[in-house]
Amino acid sequence: MISRLLSSRTTASVSQNVASTTTEGSSAFANTARRQISTGTPASQTGLGYTLHRPGARLSYPLHRRAWPPGSYALHNLPAVRHASFARALPKLASKLIRIPAMFGMAIIGGVSYIQYQATQAGNFAMDVFGKGWDTASSAGNSVFEGVGGVFSRVGRGWDKTKEDVGGLKMPEWLRREYFERGDQEGDGGSGGPNQPKESSIGAASAGAATAGAFALNGEEEEDNRSADVAARDDQMMMLTRKMIEIRSLLQTIGQSESLTLPSIVVVGSQSSGKSSVLEAIVGHEFLPKGSNMVTRRPIELTLVNTPRAHAEYGEFPALGLGKITDFSQIQKTLTDLNLAVPEKQCVSEDPIQLRIYSPNVPDLSLIDLPGYIQVEAFDQPTELKMKIQELCEKYIKAPNIILAISAADVDLANSTALRASRRVDPRGERTIGVVTKMDLVDPIRGTQILSDKNYPLRLGYVGVVCKIPQESKSLFSRGSANITQAITRNEAAYFNAHPETFGPESTVVTGTPSLRKKLMHVLEATMSASLASTSGAIQNELAQATYEFRVQYNERPLSAESYLAESLDAFKHDFKNFSNEYGRSQVREIVKRELDQQVLNLLAQRYWNAPVETLQPTDPLDVAAQGDLAALPKADAEDPLWHLKLDSSTSTLTKLGIGRLATTATAQALQNSVVSIIQDTPFKAHPFAVETISKTSENILRELSYDTSDELEICLKPYKYRIELDDNEWKRGKESIATALQQELRDCEAAHRMLDEQLGGRRKAKDVLSFIDKIQRGEVVLEGTTTAGGAGGFSAELLERGKEALFLRDRAAILRLRLAAVKSRQCSSKANKYHCPEVFLDAVADKLTSTADLFLDAEMLSKFYYQFPRALEQKFRSLDDGAVERFAREDPKVRRHLDVVKRKELLEHVLKEMEGLRQLEAREKRMVNRGTQTAGDTEGKRRKGWLF
């Protein structure tokens, strides 16, 4: 009976949140935290939380609303809610940890959301290329000459000097790798290593070996009958082009400034003019997007890299990091996907796709493929499409780029969109190469007339081609990796050879894909060479600016992503070390004691103090008797079983409530909070990635440590579950400590009461409401009906609700004052009176538990965490790859700007140095050409000279 009555009345709550009170009181309780210590009752039964209503606001703060079912009345089944305790409790997260298993708790605190900083791919790539370019400073060596083979031994001193010059230049990683991998693939032995090209491989190649493949001179039809000098000069020319393309790539990483670029070949033509076929004939593979649905929507910046001694042919999308793709149908698919990713509504995008193709059968070229001009939009194409394509092409065909204007032979040249566009920007026809495709579709005589067009004479001339893959060969290439160069060349040669009267050796027109390849190479080299001086001037200006910025803004302080990470990590570790020196057992003690104090107050509320006023009914005297009149406690019989039961059950609950987990979790949370606040004092604070990494690392370690520690601590505390002996000192400490805790509880309670008074309309009004409820409880007023939904005694239902709360707080404050006086009394100075002074006893027990817990946690948790955490962090950050380090450093805008200036400056210096070297080489190469032309007087030389203007 006692048990039943007790259980129905021993739950209590106090509300407070003075700090959150506003003038209007509108959010008075809105921010009030909620704490519940459930001793076994499911949440649905505890029914925690209640709502204050007043006009214009719905204020909610959790208190107790009993809703447990009949028959569940048992001491162990009671919820305890002391709202007041929240003001002093751990932060919200910590309170969660107390209530839920450590495992889940740690997952919650670790939920600091990491906003993945998406460093732009372009940025990453820029950094990547830059880094690689820089790396090569000491390693390029003479490797570039591997491809040129024995040229140098044949042409004497001048070439030897050239070899030294070029060898001294740096080479981007992709190019360098290409050379060395080539050596490896061929398995030609030798020691070598990346910085030492294999001598044997240099000597083994013959003059013109590099260009033979690139010119497609390996076939049966096209024999390489160049003289050694010519072949050597071709190789040299190709090497220079390669270096310039390489510089062009580096410049692309610096920025989009128009002055900071080297020319490229831009392919334009109307739809179905045969652009793709020409490009694929040059590359030797079908790799461009095909389809009727305007599949080329973005510019494709195609860099062809000749790898003379390699067997493998493959492509790479440097910005995508997909690695080597040897299946060209896969390249085609990727290009198609990238293009189709541009929504049809947007028509075209200016964002170029970068693609590099490595092959022994391609010349070194830099080409840009553009969407085909359209004459008339199809019914399902946006009206602005035509205009957009035109604008995009205009942007690319500006000087100094070379225009490869593709026109089909079966369309009148006067109607060629490509030539019309080129004429607008190159009226004198100085940088346009006319390519006439589908020569096989017109009569040979008509063909030669087109190629000798006088209406729009081009200084670089016209080349007639037949680029169609012969039907019978098509099935052979369907697998996407076989080379189609031979098939196309053979087919093309067959056509032109079949008409010797128009296309024979005596003909003045230039025909054939191999001729086109050669022309492209020579023209590109010459155009790039011509741009070297002006580009170099622009680079010098940029460099002067970057150097000035570096000096003035950054005091010439060098910075790299790696050094920045290392410094930041050191700063963090230093601060953490200081923290660990200061944060020890006494801090843990404070945390654990604070937690246990709250548990003690909850138990007191649960077992001793008043319960919330649930209904407006007269108070049942039986209930009061069963609850025990606290006012009578000091004079109660020392053997009264009611008070024995209350204290013994409270003590038992306190020692058995899982202090191991509670203390461990609270300590782990405090450590985690400290780690997070240390981050705020270090450069890491500006880096979400670092914040997340550090938080997660510490969280993981603490979670691991918590598992074992909490169980072991529980075992250590086990003896207290059965027997607790206190000495006088412990009792004395408990008396002082609980007095302080009760005083605080009283302050909280009074503050909550004051606030409620305000909400009731002031003290006077509150007094009236409370006096009315008092009368009901004393039985002096009898309410008609069972509910007060419509109000009673002239008070609205809402006022009565709040009145009940105010009554509860008023009575709670009275109890606290009473017990505070009791705790301070002489009676409570002796531990013999523990049943008269349950507060002191429980607090002393809490203190005893704390002493064991703090010792254990200091040894098992703190010291292990202090050892493991910095090491784990070090390992985490050190194992980041270059890209991740770069992304990390760039998260901070200030650091990003600093890095940008440093890198820009270094990159510009690097490019400038390369360009200077190239200019010397280029001058020497021109001398060679002139000498070769004078001495040999061969027709090849003359022709070539023509290409070079």
Ligand X SMILES: Nc1nc2c(ncn2[C@@H]2O[C@H](COP(=O)(O)OP(=O)(O)OP(=O)(O)O)[C@@H](O)[C@H]2O)c(=O)[nH]1
Residue 198 or 438 with smaller CB distance to ligand X: 438
Query: Please, what is the Cα angle at 151 between 149 and 152, to 5 degrees?
Result: 110
| Contact range with ligand X by CB under 6 A, out of 214-222, 266-274, 835-843, 903-911 | 266-274
Q: How far is CA 177 from CA 136, 167, 365, 936, in A?
A: 10, 15, 18, 37
- Comparing CB distances to ligand X, the nearer of 281 and 678 is 281
Applying CB under 6 A, among 372, 434, 447, 838 the residue interacting with ligand X is 372
Please, what is the minimum distance in Å from the beta carbon of residue 468 to ligand X? 4
For position 275 contacting ligand X by CB under 6 A, the verdict is yes
For residue 482, the minimal CB distance to ligand X (Å) is 17
Shortest distance in whole angstroms from residue 381 CB to ligand X: 13
Residue 470 CB, nearest approach to ligand X (Å): 10
Output b/e per residue, 440-450; b: 16+ Cβ within 10 A. bebebeebbeb
Find the part of the chain contacting ligand X (CB under 6 A) among 124-132, 192-200, 246-254, 436-444.
436-444
The contacts of residue 299 (CB under 8 Å, 6+ apart) are 350, 352, 353, 368, 369, 370, 371, 392, 396
Identify which range of 438-446, 580-588, 622-630, 754-762 contacts ligand X by CB under 6 A. 438-446
Nearer residue to ligand X within complex by CB, 411 or 822: 411
Q: Which of 467, 659, 751, 928 binds ligand X (CB under 6 A)?
A: 467
Give the shortest CB-393-to-ligand X separation in angstroms: 12
Q: How far is the CB of 941 from ligand X (least distance, A)?
A: 30
Q: Residue 712 contacts by C-beta under 8 Å, 6 or more apart in sequence?
A: 660, 856, 860
Least CB distance to ligand X at residue 563 (A): 49
Q: What would the DSSP string read from start to end of 90-138?
A: PPHHHHHHHHS-HHHHHHHHT----------HHHHHHHHHHHHHHHGGG
The binding track of 279-298 with respect to ligand X, each residue x by CB under 6 A or -, is -----------------x--
For 610, phi then psi, to 5°, come to -75, 160
Q: How far is the CB of 466 from ligand X (least distance, A)?
A: 4
Binding mask 332-371 for ligand X (x = CB under 6 A): ----------------------------------------
Q: Which of 789, 794, 790 is nearest to 775 (CA)?
A: 794
Region of 125-133, 201-209, 264-272, 888-896 interacting with ligand X (CB under 6 A): 264-272
| CA dist list (Å): 945 to 831, 929, 940 | 113, 8, 9
**Min dist. Cβ of residue 339 to ligand X (A):** 11
Helices (H), 341-465: 385-396, 417-425, 444-451
Choose the binding region for ligand X from 141-149, 271-279, 565-573, 800-808 (rule: CB under 6 A).
271-279
CA distances from 1 to 69, 78, 220, 606, 622 (A): 17, 16, 111, 18, 11
| Binding residue for ligand X, selected from 276, 513, 788, 833, defined by CB under 6 A | 276
Q: How far is the CB of 368 from ligand X (least distance, A)?
A: 14
- What residues from 134 to 173 belong to the interface with ligand X (CB under 6 A)? none
Q: Is 599 in the site for ligand X (CB under 6 A)?
A: no
> Cβ 678 to ligand X, closest distance in Å?
59
Residue 175 DSSP SS3: helix
Nearest distance, CB of residue 471 and ligand X, angstroms: 10
Which positions ≥6 away from 668 have C-beta within 8 Å? 97, 102, 106, 702, 703, 705, 706, 861
Q: At its nearest, how many Å lie between ligand X and the CB of residue 439?
A: 6
The residue (of 408 and 889) whose beta carbon lies closer to ligand X is 408
677-713 in b/e burial notation, b at 16+ Cβ within 10 A? ebbeebbbbebbbbbbbbbebbbebbbebbeebbeeb
Which residue in this structure is represented by tokens 């104090």? 597
Q: Site size for ligand X, by CB under 6 A?
A: 17
Options 35-43, 274-282, 315-323, 633-641: segment touching ligand X (CB under 6 A): 274-282
- Shortest spacing between CB 310 and ligand X, in angstroms: 27
Nearer to ligand X, 268 or 460 (CB): 268
CB 102 within 8 A of CB 668: yes
User: Closer CB to ligand X, residue 271 or residue 473?
Assistant: 271
DSSP string across 804-826: HHHHHHHHHHHHHHHHHHHHHSG
Could you say which of 9, 82, 233, 438 contacts ligand X (CB under 6 A)? 438
Contact 825, 817 (CB under 8 A): no
The number of helix segments (H) and strand segments (E) in the chain equals 35, 13
Single residue of 274, 734, 803, 932 touching ligand X by CB under 6 A: 274
Provide CB contacts within 8 A for 736, sequence distance 6+.
Answer: none
Residue 826, Cβ neighbours under 10 Å: how many? 7
Q: Which is nearer to ligand X, 276 or 649 (CB)?
A: 276
Under 8 Å between Cβ of 938 and 230: yes
Least CB distance to ligand X at residue 290 (A)? 7
For residue 619, what are the CA distances in angstroms to 520, 623, 779? Answer: 104, 8, 8
**Of positions 440, 542, 699, 748, contacts ligand X by CB under 6 A:** 440
Residue 931: Cβ-neighbour burial (10 angstroms; 0-12, 13-18, 19+)? middle
Residue nearest to ligand X (CB): 372
If one asks whether residue 271 binds ligand X (CB under 6 A), the answer comes out as yes
Round to whole Å and give the CA distance between 287 and 272. 16
Nearest residue to 465 (alpha-carbon basis) of 432, 496, 486, 428: 496
Q: Which of 495/720 has CB closer to ligand X?
A: 495
d(CA 391, CA 405): 16
Rounded Cα–Cα distance for residues 568 and 562 (Å): 10
What does the radius of gyration of the chain's CA atoms come to, in whole angstroms? 43
> CB of residue 527 vs ligand X: minimum separation in angstroms?
24
Query: What residues contact residue 547 under an 8 Å CB cut-off, 6+ apart?
Result: 905
Question: Of 272-280, 583-591, 688-696, 893-901, which segment contacts ligand X by CB under 6 A?
Answer: 272-280
277 lines the binding site for ligand X (CB under 6 A): yes
Q: How far is the CB of 273 from ligand X (least distance, A)?
A: 4
Instruction: Return the residue of 46, 349, 437, 627 that touches ligand X, per CB under 6 A.
Output: 437
588: tokens are: 């843990």
- If the CB atoms of residues 242 and 438 are measured against ligand X, the closer one turns out to be 438
Stretch that binds ligand X, among 15-23, 464-472, 636-644, 788-796 (CB under 6 A): 464-472
Helix (H) or strand (E) holding 283: helix 275-283
Nearest-approach distance from CB 545 to ligand X, in angstroms:
41
Regarding 272 and contact with ligand X (CB under 6 A), the answer is yes
Stretch that binds ligand X, among 28-36, 435-443, 531-539, 573-581 (CB under 6 A): 435-443
**Selected range binding ligand X among 29-37, 270-278, 622-630, 814-822, rule: CB under 6 A:** 270-278
Is residue 247 a contact residue for ligand X (CB under 6 A)? no
Of 273, 354, 535, 710, the residue at the interface with ligand X (CB under 6 A) is 273
3-state SS, 459-488, equals CCCEEECCCCCCHHHHHHHCCCCCCCHHHH
CB-based contacts of 187, cutoff 8 Å, min separation 6? none
In terms of CB distance, is 196 or 272 closer to ligand X?
Answer: 272
Residues that bind ligand X (CB under 6 A): 269, 271-277, 296, 372, 437-438, 440-441, 466-468
